Amino acid sequence: MRTVHIGLAGFGTVGSAVFRNLQSNAELLARRCGMRPEIVAIAAKNLSSRAGGAERAAARLLVRDLDVLVADSRVELIVELIGGCGVARRLILSSLRAGKPVVTANKALLAEHGREIFIESRRHGAPVWFEASVAGGIPLIQALREGLVANRFRLLYGIVNGTCNYILSRMTLEGAGFEEALREAQAQGFAEADPTFDIDGYDAAHKATVLASLVAGGCVNFRKVPVEGIRHITVEDIRFAQRLGYALKLLAIIRSLGPNHVEVRVHPTLIPVTNRLASIHGVTNAVMVRGSVVGDVEFSGPGAGGDATSSAVISDLMEAARHVVLQKERVKGAPLPQPPSAVGSVASRVAPAESIVSRYYLRLGVLDRPGVLARIASILGAAKIGISSVLQPEGHEGRVVPLILMTHDARHGAMLGALARIRRLPVVKSRPVVLRVETFES
For residue 207, indicate whether it is catalytic. Answer: yes
In one-letter notation, the amino acid at residue 333 is: G
| Cα 230 → chain centroid | 15
Architecture of domain 2-138+306-345: 3-Layer(aba) Sandwich (3.40)
Q: Give dist(CA 41, CA 9) in Å, integer.
A: 8
Q: Give dist(CA 54, CA 59) in Å, integer.
A: 9
Q: Give dist(CA 432, CA 405) in Å, integer.
A: 11
Phi, psi of 78 (to 5 degrees): -115, 135
State residue 303's pLDDT score: 85
140-303: CATH topology: Dihydrodipicolinate Reductase; domain 2 (3.30.360)
| Cα 103 → chain centroid | 18
Domain 2-138+306-345 identical in fold to domain 140-303: no
State residue 51's pLDDT score: 46
State residue 1's pLDDT score: 76
> How does pLDDT run along the chain (442 residues), one tens digit per residue?
789 999 999 998 899 999 999 999 989 999 999 889 999 999 988 765 554 566 677 888 988 889 999 999 999 999 999 999 999 999 999 999 999 999 999 999 999 999 999 999 999 999 999 999 998 889 999 999 889 999 999 999 999 999 999 999 999 999 999 999 999 999 998 999 999 999 999 999 999 999 999 999 889 999 999 999 999 999 999 999 999 999 999 999 999 998 889 999 999 999 999 999 999 999 999 999 999 999 999 999 998 888 999 999 999 999 999 999 888 776 555 555 555 555 656 788 999 999 999 999 999 999 988 999 999 999 999 999 999 999 988 766 668 899 999 999 999 999 999 999 999 999 999 999 999 999 998 6
Domain regions of the chain by residue span: 2-138+306-345, 140-303, 354-437
Phi, psi of 422 (to 5 degrees): -65, -40
Q: Is the domain defined by 354-437 classed in CATH 3.30.70.260? A: yes
The residue from 45, 100, 107, 207 that is catalytic is 207
Q: Give dist(CA 314, CA 316) in Å, integer.
A: 5
Q: What is this structure's pTM?
A: 0.92
Burial class (CB in 10 A: 0-12, 13-18, 19+), 119: middle
In 3D space, the residue among 409, 410, 406 whose CA is nearest the CA of residue 418 turns out to be: 410
Contact 161, 168 (CB under 8 A): no
Q: Give dist(CA 51, CA 116) in Å, integer.
A: 38
Q: Give dist(CA 188, CA 426) in Å, integer.
A: 45
Q: Give dist(CA 112, CA 43) in Å, integer.
A: 24
Length of the chain: 442
